[in-house]
Amino acid sequence: MPLVEVTMVEGRTPEQLRSLIHALHEAVVRAVAAPPENVRVVVREVPPTHWAAGDVTISERLGDAELATRASARPIEPKGEGER
């Protein structure tokens, strides 16, 4: 049973997260011929104030305006059931 775990800074829309989950699921099914019902995807979102590199948090590095801009990016829509 393949398990994909992703940790990323919070701020994506539910549609963006759904698109990510769909793309990861499809990639695992194709890459390792896993039965689709056996693939698990876990997305963990971390506040930008809780993730740092070099003693600088993402929030400090990017600022609130940049984080808001990234969160509003248009997601890629998952394909419909008949298109998978």
Cβ pair 36, 28 in contact under 8 A: no
- What's the CA gap between 54 and 65, in Å, rounded? 21
Q: Quick one: residue 55, left, alpha or beta (phi over 0 = left, psi -120 to 50 = alpha)?
A: left
Which residue among the candidates 2, 47, 48, 75 is catalytic per the annotation? Answer: 2
d(CA 28, CA 48): 28
35 noted as active-site residue: no
Positions marked active-site: 2
